[in-house]
Amino acid sequence: MEERLQKILARAGVASRRAAEVAISQGRVSVNGQTVTEPGTKADAERDEIRVDGARLQAPAAPVYLLLNKPKGYVSTRQDPGRRPTVMDLVPPVAGLFPVGRLDITTEGLLLLTNDGAFAERVTHPRYEVPRVYHAKVHKIPDADTLERLRRGVRVEGDLLTVDRVRVLEAEKNAWLELTLHEGKKHEVRRLLEAVGHPVSKLRRVGIGPLSSRGLKPGEFRSLTPSEVKGLIDPKGGHVKTVAPAPARRPHPPRRPPNRPQGDKSASRDHRASRERRPSDHRPSDHRPSDHRSSDKRSSDNRRPAAGDRRPPRGRPPRGRPPRGRT
């Protein structure tokens, strides 16, 4: 089955997938006698003849996962041009074994070695945020503002360097700090602490994901258990970085009337009754105001005359007198 060439090299333990892409682009890999410089080229590991630096690619061996407590004075590489001691001198010879990441020659602490390129990619890539814990002895004692600067991040030579967590372990004349990071930029811890005015004199890596240096002396190594391997590649050991969705806003609760004394129930009933009657005060009414003048006039017209002044009602002629205009 054809696969991408860098994936074949990583699975064979030649290097991590990213390092295999670099080797391909440099023209160090050939397939069936033809030099390949395109990382996306596909090949069949069982049918094609694949060579790296002239050496034929062997069938991948059983995966090996080692945890080494690297002492000072060893470089984290398979071969050193300066013939300095390497971490490969501290572990048994295994085909395709290589260190996962690097530690400076003066830095001690935990270092993984494997022949599984996919595993190495999964552990080292910042996207999966596998935490790394360091203990650093620094000059003087950083104050709270300096620790907060480390958490916010400091730009050094164009790189934004930051820590996930930091705390002071010991504070006498100088201080021991514990720092947790999930990225693996070059000399990140040393550059970051020097930028805030506290250069590092000693540095140890004491944790990688669920692994710790407890019970492992400098120069000693051990094999990882299946659960430890799973803890490093499983999202619980190093989760994929994602953007969390914005939290939904909660609706505001309805407003409630102010609390009234429990004993004054009649006052509240009167208040509600007055509020219910209040709109009726503004309703238009069909009743028209009476004309007081016309009512007074009607009452004066209908008033009975006195006995000595009997006048006929208005509009009627007196008795015995013919109406006007009639003869």
Which CATH number among 3.30.465.10, 3.40.50.1950, 3.40.50.880, 3.10.290.10 corresponds to the domain 2-56?
A: 3.10.290.10
pLDDT at residue 317 tops 60: no
Q: Which of 131, 304, 265, 149 is nearest to 123 (CA)?
A: 131
What is the pLDDT averaged over residues 65-87? 93
**pLDDT band at residue 323, thresholds of 50, 70 and 90?**
low
Is 301 considered catalytic here? no
Structure tokens given for 240: 């994929």
Please report the pLDDT score of residue 221 as a whole number.
Answer: 96
**How do beta strands 98-100 and 65-70 pair?**
unpaired
- 100 - beta bridge partners? 112
What's the alpha-carbon Rg for the chain, to the nearest Å? 48
From 44, 48, 80, 104, active-site residue: 104
Kindly report, residue by residue over 154-200, the tens digit of the pLDDT. 999 888 999 999 999 999 889 999 999 988 788 899 999 999 999 99
What is the pLDDT averaged over residues 207-221? 94
Structure tokens given for 58: 């062997």
Whole-angstrom distance, CA of residue 111 vs CA of residue 87: 9
pLDDT at residue 37 tops 90: yes
| CATH 3.10.290.10 domain range(s) in the chain | 2-56
Whole-angstrom distance, CA of residue 169 vs CA of residue 175: 7
Residue 268 CB: number of other CB atoms within 10 A? 13
pLDDT at residue 275 tops 60: no
Whole-angstrom distance, CA of residue 298 vs CA of residue 292: 10
Q: Which fold has domain 131-208?
A: Alpha-Beta Plaits (3.30.70)
What is the pLDDT averaged over residues 227-253? 58
> Is the full-model pTM beyond 0.95?
no
List Cβ neighbours of 170 (8 Å cut-off, separation of 6 or more).
Answer: 176
Please report the pLDDT score of residue 304 as a whole number.
Answer: 55
CA dist 245 to 123, 149, 240, Å? 26, 27, 15
Q: What is the DSSP letter of 162?
A: -
Q: Which of 145, 161, 144 is nearest to 195 (CA)?
A: 161
Please report the pLDDT score of residue 241 as a whole number.
Answer: 43
| CATH 3.30.70.1560 domain range(s) in the chain | 131-208
**How do beta strands 200-208 and 108-114 pair?**
parallel
Tell me the H-state helices in 13-143. 17-25, 117-124
The position carrying tokens 């240096």 is 213
